Every structure is written in C-alpha cells, then in structure tokens.
Amino acid sequence: MANLSYGGLRLTPPKILSLGFILLIAVGTVLLSLPVSSAGGDISWIDALFMATSATCVTGLAVIDTGTGLTTFGQIVLLVLFQFGGLGFVTMATLITLVLNKRISLKDRLLLQETMNQNSMQGIVRLIRRVLIYSLVIQFAGAVALTLRFLEEMPAGKAVYYGIFHSISIFNNAGFDLFGDVHGPFSGLTRYVEDPVVNITAMLLIFLGGIGFIVLSDVVDFRKRKRLTLHSKVVLSTSLILIGAGAALFFWLELFHTLKPLHFGGKVMASFLQALTPRSGGITTLDIYQLRESTQFLIILLMFIGAAPGSTGGGIKVTTFALLIAAVYSRVRGREDVVLFRHRLSKENVYRAITMTLLSLLLVIISTMLLSITEEADFLAVMFEAVSAFGTSGLSMGLTAELSAAGKILIILLMFMGRIGPLTLAYALRPNRGKELYRHPEGHIMIG
C-alpha cells in the first residue's frame, strides 16, 4: 500500500481517511456544542460528540431528538456532516477541487482509490465526477417527491426544507429525521407506514444509496456496454435476494402482530421497507421495540451484513457475505476454487472476507459484552444497539436515549469503526513493515 508524505509524516491512505473522519467529527462536535445549535438547554460535550459521530458515520442513532432538540442551525450542521460522511470527505474535497478547476494530484488519486475501494487509479477522477452527479440527481429527485407529499400537511417553506433534509439523510443512509417536531420526539416515520409516496421514495433512496456508486455507474453504462461487471452482478443479485427474503420473513413473522392493523398494501410496503432499512437505511415506519424477538434478531442479521462496498452503508458488506456463502458451498461440494458467476475468485479475496467477518464479529461480541455491563437493559436490546452502531444502521429498540456516559462512548467508537471498516482501521493502525524474508514450515491441524 502506497505511503503518502505530508509535512514529513508518512501516512497510508487508510490513516488519512481515519484522520479525516476524526477531523470532521471534531468540527461537528464543536459546532453542535454551541448555544446556537440547541433548541433547549446547552448540549453536553458527550452528546455533541455522539451526534456528530452518528452524522459523520451516517448512522442515525440519536441521543437528542433532531426535530425538537436542535435548532435549524444544528440540523444543518448534521446535514453537512452526513452529506460529507456519506459521500466521503475525500470525494467532497475533490468536488471543490473540480469546481475550482484545479489539478487532481497523485496523492489525491491514491486517496480516492482507497475511498472508492478500487484496485487501480485508472479512471478514478471520471468515476468521482459520476458519483457526484448521480448523487445530486438522485437526492434532488427524492427531495422533489417528498416535498410534494409534505406540502399536503405543512407550509411550503417547511415542506421544501423537510423534503431536502430527508432526501439527503435517507440517500446517505444517515437515518436522521425531523418529525419529532411534528408527531412527537423520536416518532420517526411511523405516521407514514401506509403512505405509498413516502415509502416508495424512501425505499428507492435507501437502495440506490446502498448498492454503491460503482454499481450505479455500471448500471448507467449497461445500455452502451451491454454487460455488467462481476462486482455489480454480485452486489445486485445478493442485495435483491436479501431484500426479497428479508421482506418475506418479516411479513410472515409479523403478519398477525405489528402488521395486523394495516391493509394488505401497507403490510407489503412495511415489510419491504423494514427489509431494506436495516442494511444501513436507519429509518423505520414501525416501532422496533414492538416487534417479535425473532423479527428483531432477523433485523440484527441484516444490519450485520449491511450494504455494498463503496456505498453510503456499513456492515461487513453484501459482497463479503456472498463470497463467504460461495466459499462454504465450494468446500461442501469438494471444489478447490470459489466461483461466482463463472468467475474464479482469488484466495486473497477469500482471506480478506474471512478476516473482515471475524474482526467484525469479535468487535460486536466484545461491544455487546461491555454494553451489557454498563447498561440496564435486555440482552437483545443491547446486542441490537451494538450491531446497529457497527452496521451504521441507526435503528434502535429505544436504548440510545437512555445510554450511560460509558455506553455512549462505546457506541461512538463502534460507529466510527463501523464506518471506517475494521480491516481499514487495522491497516491504519498497524506499523509499517517490510516484506517477510522467510516462511515457516507447513503444519497440519485437525479441523471439525
């Protein structure tokens, strides 16, 4: 991995990305701590840090209701943070550079390559231009649709503001909403559970934000190229399977429970939205606490898997999940190669997927154990909170607002590590070492 020199310091792209997110969080914390950001009393530093981290890491967990606890200034600070956090601060810095017609340096290209999870720098600036254009177009379309719907129940200025805020929040998988000011604190989108405009718009924004900018670019080029890359095929197929299976399971588990009062169309929309939103969407039209325990555990699994690489979402990523399933299938069938869509995958990819999954599991297990010590809550609620923070999902069973100071710090660390990625963070923290000059003799142990 290339090292970049800044003021005599040799920093790898993962280190620079980690430091960039820390800087954004620090600036956001200071701004949210100002009296002008608070609609009530002063916001404590720990709450300001929590909200800034949640916004920058596009999570959506909130210890302060965004609609009632923050002023318009504070809400705009959050909006800027999750826009930068969702698209990536390097991507946004590149936008400013392109607007100023400045040259993109080699260092910047290396950072962009790391940000977009690309294997080479070839065409990276062109990809970033596309990312920015697609993002703005999608967010604008979402804002128009939501504004037109909100005009039915609020003044024009407020409807426009709500449309823009929620479109950006949902597309970036941030999960923040302002409806506490309309329907009561922490009410979310529960009043819109059977509203087709809000549901369909939200689902499209979550899906498009969660499949990744590389896949979006590939899909747009499909008419010209007449084919999709292997990465896009894996992301789209795995995402659609998870959405379909998740919605079917949710419908089955909750049909005679939380879905019972809804008409059939509402049941279907609620099932699909609740299957989509755990994979980093962060909004919900149903009270998560009221769901069956089996349904809550299903949501935990979906949050852990997360969205696609190079997207605004978190989790271990759908490609990692697909690769692990393919590896297990190949081993069970006695095959040496791991194959997806008639392409053999390298052992490096398999090792990376296994490492990512095990590090993530270890992180969630340790965090859940620590939270079960610091918090007075049911174990499932504690595990739900930990996985939601790691997967940057933003869903909660009501524990977030009741977290202790120690619990808030744990969740802050989890949100940061979940957004950066355990593997990227490990690369950022490891010492720079040269290539190993020797190999140990091969050994054998019994497995299974």
User: pLDDT per residue over 363-419, tens digit each?
Assistant: 999 999 999 999 999 999 999 999 999 998 889 998 998 999 999 999 999 998 888
Angle at 57 between CA 191 and CA 49, to 5 degrees: 95
d(CA 75, CA 11): 34
**Helix (H) or strand (E) segment spanning residue 27:** helix 13-33
Instruction: Please name the amino acid found at residue 197.
Output: V
d(CA 16, CA 2): 12
Q: Which residues pair with 4 in a beta bridge?
A: 11
134: tokens are 């697609």
Contacts of 238 (CB under 8 A, 6+ apart): 318, 319, 321, 322
Residue scoring higher pLDDT (22 or 312):
22
As a whole number of Å, the end-to-end CA separation of the chain is 36
pLDDT of residue 372: 94
**β-pairing verdict for 9-11 and 4-6:** antiparallel
Tell me the pLDDT tens digit for each residue of 225-265: 888 888 889 999 999 999 999 999 999 999 999 999 999 99
DSSP state of 287: -
pLDDT of residue 170: 92
**β-pairing verdict for 338-340 and 343-345:** antiparallel
d(CA 56, CA 51): 9
For the chain, what is the mean pLDDT?
84
Residue with tokens 């970033």: 128
Buried/exposed 27-40: b ≥16 CB within 10 Å, e otherwise: bbbebbbeeebbbe
Tell me the pLDDT tens digit for each residue of 92-107: 545 554 444 555 555 5
Secondary structure of residue 9 in the 3-state scheme: strand
Residue scoring higher pLDDT (49 or 440):
49
pLDDT of residue 146: 95
Tell me the pLDDT tens digit for each residue of 53-106: 999 988 889 999 998 899 999 999 999 999 888 776 545 545 554 444 555 555
- To the nearest whole percent, how much of the chain has pLDDT over 70? 83
pLDDT exceeds 80 at position 426 = no
Q: Of 129, 302, 283, which is closest to residue 204 (Cα–Cα)?
A: 283
Contacts of 215 (CB under 8 A, 6+ apart): 231, 232, 235, 236, 308, 310
275: tokens are 């299957």
265: tokens are 């169309």
Over its C-alpha atoms, the chain yields an Rg (Å, rounded) of 22
pLDDT of residue 2: 47
